[in-house]
Chains A and B, each alone.
Chain A
Amino acid sequence: MTLVRRRLTITPTVTVYLALAALLVIGSILVGANGGVLLDQSGILNILTRSTLLGLVAIGQTMVIVTGSLDLSVAYLAGLCSLVTAETMAGRTSMMVPGVLLALAVAAVVGLINGLVITVLKANAFIATLGVALILRGYLEHNYTGPAGSVPRAFQHLGYDRIGPVPVSALLVLLIGTAVWWFSRRTRTGYHLYAVGGDTEVARLSGVRTSRTIVTAHVLCASMAGLAGVLLAARLGSGAPYAGTDAGYDLESIAAAVLGGAVLTGGRGGVVGTIGGVLILATLDTVFDDLAVDPFLKDVVRGVVLVAAVALYARHRLSRRSS
């Protein structure tokens, strides 16, 4: 009998941070050669600011991807929640807490709907959340043509204040990321997320309440998107219906999670890897800005990086399987 031991392997999570480190070094050299500094105060601030909102959405997206699901509605949902926040507050400091709570409640309800459509109506997650996304879009297009509502000045601190080069909102995301990591890796429900994503049928036969687990993941994901909407409102000062879609939160959050090692069929991936993926995307953007590269080239590079990373992971898994 062979003794089976856990070997120390280079997991995608390790890979993504190695790639991030390499990118920071190469980026610094390139920017330095151009007479700038990548990682000065404003550079770090830039990277972190870019990472904040996408990071939040991507953390939630990771939770649904891990369960083998997907959420294409997060971009419109973030826009919707920025509106709910700003319109509820309507510039009044007294309405700050109700505004945030209402936005989160709306998000949770949308997540609940996503989860129920998938589990009760048995719709494919892609279709279900695409459907919900289209419904949200219809609502936004019907009722809004541009920014609406306003948040009080006090609330804008959440969007702009920083400690040294670190935005307060980035710290908030880090805190939430830690909490979600603990939830997914240490609690029973977290274990079940991975189990359901690994094999729903196995999980069900083992007594895991699979539908409830999937719904939980979707509510969590939507709440993250809702919180991103709240931060959007804090940053922009008002609700912006299309801020989420203009930033491409739906597909970009999936890209970040996959970059961080999540597998779309579920069961693998995690918050730590995803944050690495988000940081890579943000660093790429910042480097390109510093180099004054045409903004459209960013999309091209992003697409190539995404495909290359997944190809790398696929190759890695293949070689591990055959060894």
Chain B
Amino acid sequence: MNWRPRLADGTAPVLIVLVVLLVTLAFVGPTFSEPAGYLALLKRAAPLVILAVGQYFVIVSGGFDLSVGSLVTAAVVIAARLSDGADANTGWVIALLLGFGLLVGLVNGLITTRLLVPSFIVTLGMLLVLDGAVFLWTDGAPRGALAPSFRVFGRGGFGQVPWSVLILLGVVVAAAWFMRSGTGRTLVALGDNENAVRLAGGAVHRLRVLAFVLSGLLAALAAILLAGFAGVSAQVGQGLEFRAITAVVLGGVVLGGGRGSVVAAAAGALSLEALFTLLNLIGVSGALESAVQGVILIAAVAAAAHGKQLRRTHEQEVVRPGRGGAARADGVHQ
């Protein structure tokens, strides 16, 4: 590989935002004068960051995954019922949850690619199915309890460092490595121009399914951390799909695909969590959290669109994507 320490396209703004937030935290919150404060933040942010990484794969390849929120709820409720407070169950329950996430992603991917249903609809359908099925199974309220050994991943740590932070780092590093690989680059190209990838001999369906499978798998992983951290409730995953999409968009990833980096998506999720922490510290009501999220979402996209416009005028050539025909290149670069 041609390794160069280069920031992928569009990563810089969100990193600046993140640094500003983290520095502000140090001034506002007493706990942030030492690493423990930041570790606690990372621990809290881990599930969302992992979800955002999963969502990134789907969005960058040109889709949506609206099912991750209900997948998290389903996974947590299943975990509680199957774990049933017994440590002996932890191993196979975790394996089963990851398998469940993988299966949900596989179904999402297969329906999207084989039946040609837009992913927005497929994952919306999956959201309804998962919501209904879980409560059907539990008769409306989560039952059972999580074994202490299960909760360790979300709560415990390796010395000072929480497990969830280690898992988070592992996921982000692996994702960044994957996105530098040929398969990763082809996934982005797929979001840009599916025809080109197909005619280049790419396995378009397999790539798309892979994106959904990764998203499902990471959602299950996020659920394991979240269950350990926050405990069992039927609302645990509510709205997480939109929060993950917000994070990804905040990272400069463009809906519709073909643009943005996974590290930026992860940084977007971390920034969102840091912002909520900050708001909490300066005494803004928790009820306003979502309003702030809304404002940020719009601001991020507007800023990105504005920046793009500036760049486009600069580069002059305007290509209308997805429309055939000869190049209408009157570009200044000859």
Contacts and interface: CB of A to CB of B under 8 A. Distances in A.
Interface in B231-264: 242, 245-246, 249, 255-256
Given A132-B294, A134-B297, A297-B136, A127 B116 contact: no
Interface stretch (A104-112, A116-124, A177-185, A213-221): A116-124
Nearest to B135: A296
On chain B, which size bracket covers the interface? 35 or more
Interface in A226-275: 251, 254-255, 258, 264
A298 B131 CA distance: 10
A124 B124 CA distance: 19
Interface stretch (A36-44, A52-60, A79-87, A307-315): A307-315
Contact of A306 (B115, B121, B255, B285): B121
Given A121-B301, A124-B255, A294-B136, A306 B125 contact: yes
Given A130-B242, A303-B132, A311-B116, A135 B127 contact: no
Contact of B298 (A131, A136, A303, A307): A131
A248 to B, nearest CB: 9
A117 B125 contact: no
A206 to B, nearest CB: 15
Given A127-B301, A141-B287, A122 B249 contact: no
B111 interface: yes
A137 B297 CA distance: 14
Contacts of A314: 115-117
Nearest to B243: A134
Interface in A134-159: 134-139, 141-142
Interface in B124-159: 124-129, 131-136, 140
Contacts of B122: 307
A126 interface: yes
Which of B136, B140, B292, B309: most chain A CB closer than 10 A?
Answer: B136
B295 A127 contact: no
A294 B137 CA distance: 10
Contacts of A310: 117-118, 121
B290 A300 contact: no
Interface string A268-309: 000000000000000000000000001011111111101100
B298 A122 contact: no
A123 B301 contact: yes
Contacts of A132: 294, 298
Nearest to B302: A121
Contacts, number: 144
A251 to B, nearest CB: 6
B310 interface: no
On chain A, which size bracket covers the interface? 35 or more
B120 interface: yes
Contacts of B118: 264, 310
Nearest to A126: B255
A128 interface: yes
Contacts of B285: 142
Contacts of B317: none
Contact of A134 (B127, B134, B290): B290
A201 B320 CA distance: 9
Contacts of B290: 134-135, 137-138, 141
A318 interface: yes
Contacts of B291: 134-135, 137-139, 142
B289 interface: yes
Contact of A311 (B111, B129, B131): B111
Contacts of A251: 66, 124, 127
Contacts of A123: 298, 301-302, 305
B294 A264 contact: no
A64 interface: no
B205 interface: no
A296 B133 contact: yes
A90 interface: no
A311 B115 contact: yes
B306 interface: yes
Nearest to B138: A296
Given A134-B293, A138-B289, A122 B116 contact: no
A133 interface: yes
A135 B294 contact: yes
B173 interface: no
Contact of B287 (A124, A138, A297): A138
Contact of B124 (A126, A255, A300): A255
B288 interface: yes
A306 B309 contact: no
Nearest to B130: A303
7 contacts: A131-B294, A134-B242, A134-B290, A135-B291, A138-B292, A251-B124, A303-B125
Interface of A: 117, 121-124, 126-128, 130-139, 141-142, 201, 251, 254-255, 258, 264, 294, 296-304, 306-307, 310-311, 314-315, 318
Given A122-B305, A126-B255, A134-B294, 8 more contacts: A122-B306, A123-B302, A132-B298, A139-B291, A142-B288, A296-B136, A303-B132, A314-B115
The 9 closest A-B pairs by CB, nearest first: A138-B291, A299-B132, A134-B294, A303-B128, A141-B287, A122-B305, A121-B302, A303-B129, A311-B115
